[in-house]
Structure 1
Amino acid sequence: MMTQKQPSLVSENQLDVSFGGCSSAGVREHNQDAFAAHKPTRVAQLNHKGASACIADGVSCSQHGQQASQTCVTQFIEDYYATPDTWGVKQAVSRVLSSLNRWLYHHSQQSQLRHNGFVSTFSAVVFKSATAHFLHVGDSRIYRYRQGKLLQITKDHCRQGLGDKGFLTRALGIDSQVEVDYQTHELQRDDIYLLSTDGVHDWLSNTQLGELLSQQTDLEQCANDIVAQAAMAGSNDNLSCLLVKVNTLPYADISELNQQLLHRVIPPVLEQGQSIDQWRVEKILYSGSRSHIYAVKSPRYQQTYLMKVPSLSYQDDLDYRKAFIREQWIGERTSSPLLMRIYPQESRFLYHLCQFVPGITLRQWMFDHPKPTLTEVRNVFSAMAAAVRALQRIGVTHRDLKPENMMLTPSGEIVLLDYGAADAQGLADSESPADAIPLGDLGYIAPEYIDGRADHQSDIFSMGVILYEMLSGERPFKKRSVTYQSSRQAYDWQYQPLSRHRQDVPFWVDQVIKRACHPDNRERYTSMSELVADLSTPNQAVLTETENAPLLVRDPVRFWQGVSGILLVIVILQLLIAFS
């Protein structure tokens, strides 16, 4: 068990926000409004999840309005911070609100009266890095007060009915599916965000709200003043407002993680028996132009670990350091046994301390099985797919899937290694865009990654290439160049039929592989599970395509044998005619 304290990977210039709020039943007997706010005390969680504030207004005609609004704000805060750090804000909040809406709708259906359901408006802001993420459904509102100007950010989802009272067109719990407005704005220091229910903003104009905010010296007192002013204006509803002020912002040009690593030193190449910090090199496993990998042990622990150290030639390469810390960030957040862990370390040196995974690489397995049976390949590929899906579930695209980065354990599982080229949606919210030059092996990466784009379908492409290589020992596309500068022209993206190498593999299997590594991602599989299913049992579309394919494609050997036979007959006939 590792007991080292996780280092603080942040700069002194950190995101900081403060809150102040007030809620009153007003003239009503019950208060069906609710709000909540949270700023993590742990720096790591503040970096990866940010601070959040939300407000909800339960439908007043329902007996369950108060429970609905309270559930919305408390469960949103709790569930959002429980999502993986690797998920981006949009992905995380979408999952949370969809789940919350389904819960409210299900309980609404249990009520015998249609108007007595669990229905609530909902508005929230997530403050992450230098960005505000806004979520909104219903007629509660979010405003921004900046440099003396008040801006209403959200739009009400309601329609005017008979008389003065409108009715909601969208809210949580109304239907089994909900459309939530989502937008992002860049934060500025001293911004103030106001979240309010209609009992406040229906009775105070933007001018009045702006004047109250301009006079604020204390957020809590200002929130109380806003509620009091709305009540004095004649509000006949519950009154709630929540204020959030941006006090400081992190550096926007470079992530805190990269700032931390700028001061770490790449150690020299180590020999067996040498030590760095508490770790003694037991064996040199790999030494290349980009990195060195050692098996290491410490007197404090029984087990063996891997140490990955950058090459000294990358001491001043900022892009390489960014990729290295991205790998650390992702590796620390893997919890599946199919994904190699990277453990946090406090050191003045730059290196990764990684989980030691017993077994052989998939490349070694391919050397040992130059012509495997289809059953053997299916079994190994299913294990590969399970590992890649475990990575996808935490919102990470590997972007460098190849046989060298897959370890086949004695139990038959595949464990993914090396996240140096990986990309997580959670990093996209706080870091600059990923490297323009692809970091993966050009022989396995998808064409769109070469052009600077990659997602889970890009990993499916790589899996298709590996599958082809496992069966044939070759790759499905011919190489034209070995440099990235030629972009898509580095390869001829014309698929080479598997039958050129393996006559014993059914043609429909070839069609499955062809779709898996199709150069156009619109023609490619969209999910790993669908690929695994089709590889085991072909679906009807694959069988139909197989039956309709010309003989030259389905069985080129039989085709050319037929052509040769016809030509031989023609030659014989010509000879007979010539000598007759």
Structure 2
Amino acid sequence: MQSEHTQKDDIINDATLVVATGCASIAGVKPVNEDAVAVHTPTDRHAMSSKGTAVLIADGVSSAEAGREASDYAVKHFIEEYFRTPDTWSAKQAGQKTLTTINLNLFKQSHEFTRQEKGYLCTFSGLVLKSRTAHFFHAGDSRIYRCRDGVITQLTRDHSINIGGGKNILARAVGMDNILQVDYGKSVLEEGDVFLLTTDGVHDFIDEEKLTKLLSDERKPQQQCERIIAEAKMANSDDNISCAIAKVDKLPAESRDDFNTKLTRLPFPPDLEPGMKLDGYRIDQALFASSRSQVYLVTDLETDEQMVMKTPSLNFQDDVHYIDRFIQEEWIGKRINSEYVVKVITQNRPRTFLYYLMEYVPGISLDKWMIDHPLPSPKKAITLVKQIAAALAAFHNTETIHQDLKPANIIVDDAMKIKVIDFGSVFVAGIAEIFIPIEHLGALGTATYSDPYYLQGRNTGIQGDIYALATITYELFTGELPYGERIEQYVNSHDFDKLRYISATDHNPIIPLWFDRALEKGVSLDIPKRYRSLQDYVDDITRPNPEFLKDDPAIDNSKGLLFWQMMSAFWVAMLILVVILFSTTG
């Protein structure tokens, strides 16, 4: 991705598009190459039709400690994330949301530095060629040109400010702010169009007239890239030197609607019955149905592989916000890579209805498992909790909050391994236009495990997921809920003010004091007192926190103290054994 000289020369052979590409990058006179260039062309026909090909260039900000890492990350993760987005998203939507998540991650890393203008910063220019349209995304002073019929046009504008003395500073870059303003544009393609992406090590030293001549010869794009690099070097470029080229050799015979528009207009599937076939999948049985969606066990008739198909409810076929959120579920699932989270399957066949596929996970939901295994041993309970925490960490690593973690959304198999299986209520930081609180579903149990602040329209982020995890932990060890069953009927702040934590020892007297206080902190309705990180919570339920043993009125004599010390020692020994066994088997 980032090297002294990156080469690529691809021809895309697709029924709808033929494009030749090339790219090159060198450090030039500088000791380190902070530029990154890449071209990605799907080999799968369906992916090519739905996503197109991507040509990318980024320039790390030289005044930042991690400019090189930032440019490499931006280019690499755009390719990874863009091609994971749902087929039903437009190129514009997929590109903008992908860049927004990349920016937020770099901004978070940049804030680890205290000095101004230091951190993970880079420019970014991305070109996506799809069907008969060029889509481009831009931030910074790298550039995208189009050369058509011997005339070169700069499609992007430099986001820089002249401060005098021949010096410019960047006004916009990826990682500079928590909200990235991305310039988006599109251009109708014509056969023979040549697109050139450059960093300032090229366009500051080669004028447009010279670039036009270099792009107008009969050389292949890779050879043209190498010649442009050589020309910039001869022109005494004092920066890293990078460029990428895409040449449109052939277009589709006729225009068509954007693939996203085409697919989002697909009809919702009807209610499906066992034996029915849909897009090469046989419906085996219905697994779940609610007012919002249906889930079926299906078999791929080509591979004989069993999968799970989720379909939207016909109740919402005219609700554009519901449709967009349903489509987003697929994208979220593709972004999360964890053995404790169900995998969303990338489809290689066109869809005639709106749905998505997931891996089939055998087992039972955790709520049913707890009925079959009331008050499991501490070893089993902690094993489950640690896996659920690992699943949540995978969500949080992609700036995603689950928001609706509950036992019904967790599958436990015969080997005591869990998978979180639902993405319907997640919140992705940086791309959500508005926080959508969890619905109060009463008997369905959502309010039982979700942070009460969600139900009041307040986003507590990671702390909300910790609340749900601590509630599940409490239930595993006691068979009850930390605020009792009445919480399901509460709907506003006045109701929640009446709630009082019920000590876990009231239900299970063998539970140590330190463990109970960790649970209490995990489900605290006073947000500043609640855990702020998953790891801190897991640490405190697997070994005694000395702070939780201070000033306990229950410990009023030496015998009581000795009892709790013995019980705590017993739990520590048991939990250490669990950790050792779990790490060796997992």
Q: TM-score, normalised by structure 1?
A: 0.61
1:371 Cα deviation (Å)?
3.0
Partner of 2:416: 412
Partners of 1:455 and 1:131 in 2: CA distance: 32
| Equivalent residue in structure 2 for 1:187, among 180, 183, 196 | 183
Name the aligned partner's letter for residue 470 of structure 1.
L
* Aligned-CA RMSD value: 5.6
Q: CA 1:536–1:281 in 2, change beyond 3 Å: closer, same or farther?
A: same
Verify the 8 A CA contact 2:283 2:297 in the aligned structure 1. Answer: yes
5 Å-filtered alignment, 1:492-531, equals 492=497, 493-531=499-537
Verify the 8 A CA contact 2:57 2:124 in the aligned structure 1. Answer: yes
Verify the 8 A CA contact 2:343 2:358 in the aligned structure 1. Answer: yes
Is 1:89 equivalent to 2:102 in the alignment?
yes
Q: CA 1:307–1:218 in 2, change beyond 3 Å: closer, same or farther?
A: same
1:142 Cα deviation (Å)?
6.5
1:478 Cα deviation (Å)?
5.3
| Equivalent residue in structure 1 for 2:308, among 306, 309, 331 | 306
Instruction: Identify which range, 461-470 or 73-82, moves more after superposition.
Output: 73-82
Q: CA 1:311–1:447 in 2, change beyond 3 Å: closer, same or farther?
A: same
1:353 Cα deviation (Å)?
2.5
Q: CA 1:304–1:376 in 2, change beyond 3 Å: closer, same or farther?
A: same
Is 1:533 equivalent to 2:536 in the alignment?
no
Partners of 1:22 and 1:302 in 2: CA distance: 45
Higher normalized contact order (CA 8 Å, seq sep 6+, divided by chain length): 1
Secondary structure, aligned partner of 2:358? strand
Q: CA 1:121–1:344 in 2, change beyond 3 Å: closer, same or farther?
A: closer
Partners of 1:20 and 1:219 in 2: CA distance: 18
1:460 Cα deviation (Å)?
1.3
Q: CA deviation digits over 1:443-465, x for unaligned, max 9?
A: 22224433242533321111011
Name the aligned partner's letter for residue 442 of structure 1.
A
Secondary structure, aligned partner of 1:533? helix
1:363 Cα deviation (Å)?
0.5
Name the aligned partner's letter for residue 90 of structure 1.
N
| Equivalent residue in structure 2 for 1:463, among 466, 469, 473 | 469
Q: CA 1:350–1:483 in 2, change beyond 3 Å: closer, same or farther?
A: farther
Verify the 8 A CA contact 2:138 2:156 in the aligned structure 1. Answer: no
Partners of 2:475 and 2:397 in 1: CA distance: 26
Q: CA 1:50–1:439 in 2, change beyond 3 Å: closer, same or farther?
A: farther
1:517 Cα deviation (Å)?
1.9
| Equivalent residue in structure 2 for 1:393, among 397, 403, 417 | 397
Q: CA 1:131–1:478 in 2, change beyond 3 Å: closer, same or farther?
A: farther
Is 1:341 equivalent to 2:346 in the alignment?
no
1:123 Cα deviation (Å)?
4.1
Partners of 2:509 and 2:337 in 1: CA distance: 41
| Equivalent residue in structure 1 for 2:283, among 281, 284, 298 | 281
Partners of 2:233 and 2:388 in 1: CA distance: 63
1:415 Cα deviation (Å)?
0.8
Secondary structure, aligned partner of 2:180? strand
Partner of 2:160: 153
5 Å-filtered alignment, 1:427-442, equals 428-429=430-431, 432-433=433-434, 435=436, 438=439, 441-442=446-447
1:383 Cα deviation (Å)?
2.5
Partners of 1:94 and 1:196 in 2: CA distance: 23
Q: CA 1:50–1:487 in 2, change beyond 3 Å: closer, same or farther?
A: farther
Is 1:368 equivalent to 2:367 in the alignment?
no
Partners of 1:309 and 1:475 in 2: CA distance: 32
5 Å-filtered alignment, 1:287-302, equals 287-302=289-304
1:501 Cα deviation (Å)?
2.4
Partners of 1:240 and 1:394 in 2: CA distance: 31
Q: TM-score, normalised by structure 2?
A: 0.60
1:531 Cα deviation (Å)?
1.7
5 Å-filtered alignment, 1:201-216, equals none
The gaps in structure 1 that reach 5 residues or longer are: 1-11, 60-67, 102-118, 136-140, 167-178, 202-208, 246-255, 554-580
Q: CA 1:422–1:303 in 2, change beyond 3 Å: closer, same or farther?
A: same
- Larger gyration radius, structure 1 or structure 2: 1
1:405 Cα deviation (Å)?
0.6
Verify the 8 A CA contact 1:32 1:69 in the aligned structure 2. Answer: no
Q: CA 1:273–1:238 in 2, change beyond 3 Å: closer, same or farther?
A: closer
Q: CA deviation digits over 1:287-313, x for unaligned, max 9?
A: 332233332234433443222233322
Q: CA 1:37–1:538 in 2, change beyond 3 Å: closer, same or farther?
A: same
Q: CA 1:120–1:187 in 2, change beyond 3 Å: closer, same or farther?
A: closer
Q: CA 1:374–1:123 in 2, change beyond 3 Å: closer, same or farther?
A: closer
Q: CA 1:70–1:383 in 2, change beyond 3 Å: closer, same or farther?
A: closer
5 Å-filtered alignment, 1:439-450, equals 441-450=446-455
Partner of 1:238: 238
Name the aligned partner's letter for residue 396 of structure 1.
T
Partners of 2:375 and 2:119 in 1: CA distance: 61
Q: CA deviation digits over 1:228-271, x for unaligned, max 9?
A: xx999xx98726787999xxxxxxxxxx8974553222223233
Partners of 2:197 and 2:301 in 1: CA distance: 53
Partners of 1:489 and 1:48 in 2: CA distance: 53
Q: CA 1:534–1:89 in 2, change beyond 3 Å: closer, same or farther?
A: same
1:36 Cα deviation (Å)?
4.6
Q: CA 1:120–1:45 in 2, change beyond 3 Å: closer, same or farther?
A: farther
Partner of 2:123: 124
Secondary structure, aligned partner of 1:469? helix
Partners of 2:103 and 2:120 in 1: CA distance: 19
Verify the 8 A CA contact 2:299 2:305 in the aligned structure 1. Answer: yes
Partners of 2:105 and 2:52 in 1: CA distance: 12
Partners of 1:122 and 1:447 in 2: CA distance: 38
Name the aligned partner's letter for residue 533 of structure 2.
S
The gaps in structure 2 that reach 5 residues or longer are: 1-15, 85-97, 129-134, 146-152, 168-173, 188-195, 217-224, 246-257, 557-586
Partners of 1:120 and 1:453 in 2: CA distance: 28
Partners of 2:36 and 2:181 in 1: CA distance: 21
Q: CA 1:239–1:508 in 2, change beyond 3 Å: closer, same or farther?
A: closer
Name the aligned partner's letter for residue 180 of structure 2.
T
Secondary structure, aligned partner of 1:124? strand
Partners of 2:120 and 2:406 in 1: CA distance: 48
Partner of 2:255: none
Partners of 1:149 and 1:82 in 2: CA distance: 21
Partners of 2:471 and 2:67 in 1: CA distance: 51
Verify the 8 A CA contact 2:59 2:67 in the aligned structure 1. Answer: no
1:532 Cα deviation (Å)?
1.8
Partners of 2:233 and 2:506 in 1: CA distance: 81
Q: CA 1:185–1:442 in 2, change beyond 3 Å: closer, same or farther?
A: same
1:335 Cα deviation (Å)?
3.9
Aligned pair count?
457
1:537 Cα deviation (Å)?
0.8
1:91 Cα deviation (Å)?
4.5
Verify the 8 A CA contact 2:38 2:75 in the aligned structure 1. Answer: no
1:385 Cα deviation (Å)?
2.0
Partner of 1:4: none
Secondary structure, aligned partner of 1:503? coil
